[in-house]
Structure 1
Amino acid sequence: MSQAQSSNSNIPDTDFNLLEDSEDADNHTSEATATRLSLQFQLDETYIGQRIDQIAAMVWSDFSREKLKQWIKEGNLLVNGQPVKPKFKSDGFEILTLNVELEAQTRSLPEDIPLDIIYEDEDIIVINKPVGMVVHPGAGNTSGTLVNALLHHYPKSSELARAGLVHRIDKDTSGLLVVAKNLEAQFALSKQLEKKSVYRLYDLVVYGNIIAGGTIDEPIKRHPVDRVKMAVLPGGKDAVTHYNVKERFQHFTRVQARLETGRTHQIRVHFSYIGYGLVGDQVYMPRVRMPAGASQLLDDTLRGFKRQALHAVQLGLKHPRTKEEMTFEAPWPEDFANLVEVLRTENKAY
């Protein structure tokens, strides 16, 4: 199991410049518990004249506006220690205080599923997710998910939205993701993701020869016809992927990609868009492209690799409580390591 490292250890400063203080997160204070929520937020002049229910929706965006309005009416959300009506307008610099008991936020059931935990403390869990595990329950995947496993490992996660998840990776992508264990940590990590200050590095293998690294800055939205797919299309959400070539083979390239944004299928869509689809991607590269003269070993390996060759190898973040910059690493899973080794022996560059 990999160990947490100082962010200064082996990642160049130029690659690790996204870790910044999250001012909104730093303004929050709370007890370190998931069941009893106690938050404070100091307003400033930017909120002058705005209604308190609108302000609360901006400050605590993980909750619905209706839920926050209910808490205001019930006296659970106070302004300078006093109850107010939802239409109360701010004159700036008030202190908002939110004190509530959280109800269960998920109906999913706990399941005793082993987790590869890279790091855990009272605030966060960093997990190396295996290939084939769905992160969150959905249609056709009501059990066996990461959420089911988390509910067994840490039962209080049931009182957090999405069981503490702040980001996801695809079912057939392996590697690292971080989960919050209390609401303060969930807020802080969500703010880091919004500010693009979470460092996410992926290893991948693509068809074709990429000459040099670069940046793909293309918007992504749902495919208009095939609703399973995402696509680069005008009007989509901003999506930015930075990448470097790590290893060249005769007909393939091993690449490292860093996400600046986190759109659905982002890496898979971006590399398919520039003409370098991922090996094994059943959605964006449904047909195996076999090189002419491929050996039986290479043929068997490529045809047997049934998932996208994508692994979340490194994760960097600022700890929500201590503010320490932390990075975590996860070794390649066996199938990915075997794919690379076969390419090194059976498809080596001239």
Structure 2
Amino acid sequence: MTSAQTSNSEFPETDFNLLEDSEDADNHNSGITATRLSLQFQLDDSFLGQRIDQVAAMVWKDFSREKLKQWMKEGHLLVNGNIVKPKYKCEGNELLSLDVELQVQTAAQPENIPLNIVYEDDDIMVINKPVGMVVHPGAGNPNGTLVNAILYHFPKSSELARAGLVHRIDKDTSGLLVVAKNLEAQFSLSKQLAKKSVYRIYDLIVYGNIIAGGTIDEPIKRHPVDRIKMGVLPGGRDAVTHYNVKERFQNFTRVQAQLETGRTHQIRVHFTYIGHPLLGDQVYVSRVRVPAGTSETLNDQLRGFRRQALHASKLGLVHPRTGEEMMFEAPWAEDFAALVEVLRSENQAY
């Protein structure tokens, strides 16, 4: 069973997150129902001289600039209670008011797919995603995704961008994700994201022996030739991974990683870069590496483990409504737990 717990203890002084950077969501004062959206945002001097449509897109980034311009023209988005043109230049002290009926934001269809829900209330869901489930529908994966399942479980999520998802993990990575159930929660999680107060820990198994913990601080961008891959390359986005060694075997190491940034494939790319790729990673490792003298049991386990050995095991956040600090945990997926047990029995450290 998945374990979940809340804690009132302070988070570590340095927090880590997987979510992509977003605009700070300070000064939001919202009252939200299932379909009606009423938001206010008080501008300050930092917005002086900027076009109001640009400012609105920064403030409410879950909606496109074109959609916000349309709402301005229709009188749903007011400045100091007045209709203004999108090219209006801000004086830096205006009050923005948005009052609009939400429309469906996703074309994905709901599907009756079971979800392992670790925690749920009126504002958020924390889900333990299984191995093999794609998060977002896309080319080649229009159905059977986590978004399809969320839409079935909570139909009102169709009114939210990305059905309330604020981050994602790879198809073959298991573990915890938080989902917002209303726009107020999305704004709150975006604010936490910007301030790096979303706390995430991954468990992973890598090839080779890592002696001690450390930090990998190397930029990541998409590979110029193989567009499926990411890589440590000049001109990439800043990417920082902190890690600790948890268990050593003869030829492998079990590690826990905390992410200071949230780039695509960050853990997989960073550990490949330092010469310790993830066991089972079929994108960044060309073939299964079986150590000399490996037992038949371990050989079968290594060759049968056909996905990256990576699990999002812990998630910490501040509840968007109550302000409570919450920590959730999810046990390893069955295949990951079985892999560790075989390594302990067949690849013990000397």
TM-score, structure 2 normalization: 0.95
**Residue 186 of structure 2 corresponds to residue 178 of structure 1:** no
The corresponding residue for 2:135 is: 135
- CA deviation after TM superposition for structure 1 residue 49, in Å: 2.3
Q: Distance in 2 between matches of 1:15 and 1:248?
A: 26
2:285 match: 285
Identity of aligned residues (%): 77
**Distance in 2 separating the partners of 1:217 and 1:34:** 42
Moved more, 166-175 or 228-237: 228-237
Which residue number corresponds to residue 272 of structure 2? 272
* Counterpart secondary structure, 2:107: coil
Counterpart residue number, 2:40: 40
Determine the structure 2 residue equivalent to 1:221: 221
Aligned-pair CA distance for 1:30? 2.0
Q: Which residue of 1 aligns with 2:7?
A: 6
Are the equivalent residues in 2 in contact too, given 1:34–1:183 (CA < 8 A)?
no
Q: Match of 1:121?
A: 121
- Per-residue deviation at 1:25? 2.8
Aligned to 2:77: 77
Q: Is the 8 Å Cα contact of residues 109 and 148 (structure 2) preserved in structure 1?
A: yes
1:232 matched to 2:232: yes
Q: Distance in 1 between matches of 2:219 and 2:33?
A: 38
Partner of 1:344: 344
- Asked if 2 retains the 8 angstrom alpha-carbon contact of 1:7 and 1:327, the reply is no
Tell me whether 276-285 or 99-108 shows the greater mean CA deviation: 99-108
Asked whether the 8 Å contact 2:15–2:260 carries over to 1, the reply is no
**How far apart are residue 288 of structure 1 and its match?**
1.0
- Which residue in the other structure is 1:331 paired with? 331
Residue 4 of structure 1 contacts residue 326 of structure 1 at CA under 8 Å; is this kept in 2? Answer: yes
What is the CA distance between 1:15 and its match in structure 2? 5.4
Which amino acid is the alignment partner of residue 257 of structure 1?
A
Cα distance in 2, alignment partners of residues 344 and 32 from structure 1? 52
Aligned to 1:211: 211
**Alpha-carbon shift at residue 193 of structure 1 (Å):** 2.1
* Corresponding residue number in structure 2 for 1:60: 60
What is the CA distance between 1:199 and its match in structure 2?
Answer: 0.9
Paired residues of 1:33 and 1:183 also in contact (CA < 8 A): no
Instruction: Show structure 1 runs of 5+ residues with no match.
Output: none
> Which residue of structure 2 lines up, in the alignment, with residue 300 of structure 1?
300
Q: CA deviation at 1:190?
A: 2.2
Task: Tell me how far 1:191 sits from its aligned partner.
Answer: 2.8
Structure with more relative contact order (C-alpha pairs < 8 Å, separation 6 or more): 2
Matching residue's letter, 1:56: A
Shift, 1:285, TM fit: 1.2
Please report how far the alpha carbon of residue 241 of structure 1 lies from its aligned counterpart in structure 2 after TM superposition: 0.7
Q: Distance in 2 between matches of 1:292 and 1:315?
A: 38
Residue 34 (structure 1) shift? 4.2
In structure 2, what is the Cα distance between the partners aligned to 1:175 and 1:307? 14
Question: Which residue is equivalent to 2:100?
Answer: 100
Q: 4+ residue runs of structure 1 moved beyond 6 angstroms?
A: none
In structure 1, give the amino acid aligned to 2:251: H
Kindly provide the amino acid, as one letter, of the partner of residue 153 in structure 1: H
Report how many residues are paired: 345
Deviation, structure 1 residue 24: 4.0
Q: Distance in 1 between matches of 2:167 and 2:75?
A: 32
SS for the counterpart of 1:25 is coil
Measured after TM superposition, the shift of residue 93 of structure 1 is 2.2
Structure 1 residue 38, shift from structure 2 partner: 1.0
Distance in 2 (CA, whole Å) between partners of 1:72 and 1:91 is 17
Q: What SS is found at the alignment partner of 2:242? A: strand
Distance in 1 separating the partners of 2:16 and 2:225: 38
Question: How far apart, in 2, do the equivalents of 1:124 and 1:88 lie?
Answer: 36
Cα deviation, 1:3-53, whole Å, max 9, x if unaligned, reads 2321528x7x345488xxx99434212223342111111111111222211
Match of 1:199 in 2: 199
User: How far apart in 2 are the matches of 1:113 and 1:17?
Assistant: 31
Alpha carbons 1:205, 1:252 under 8 Å: kept:
yes
Are 1:34 and 1:157, in contact at CA under 8 Å, matched by a contact in 2? no
Hey, what's the Cα distance between the residues in 1 that align with 2:154 and 2:192? Answer: 23
Give how far 1:277 is off: 0.4
Root-mean-square deviation (Å): 1.7
Q: Aligned partners of 2:23, 2:274: CA distance in 1, in Å?
A: 37
Find the residue that maps to 1:139 and give its secondary structure: coil
Query: In the alignment, which residue of structure 1 is the partner of 2:153?
Result: 153
C-alpha change, 1:347 and 1:15, in structure 2 (3 Å) is farther
In the alignment, the residues of structure 2 paired with residue 7 and residue 171 of structure 1 have an alpha-carbon distance, to the nearest angstrom, of: 32
1:269-299 Cα deviation digits (max 9, x unpaired): 1100110000000101131111111111110
Distance 1:33 1:272 in 2: 46
Aligned partner letter, 2:6: Q
CA distance in 2, matches of 1:85, 1:303: 62
SS at match of 2:32: coil
Whether the 8 Å contact between 1:206 and 1:255 is mirrored in structure 2 is yes
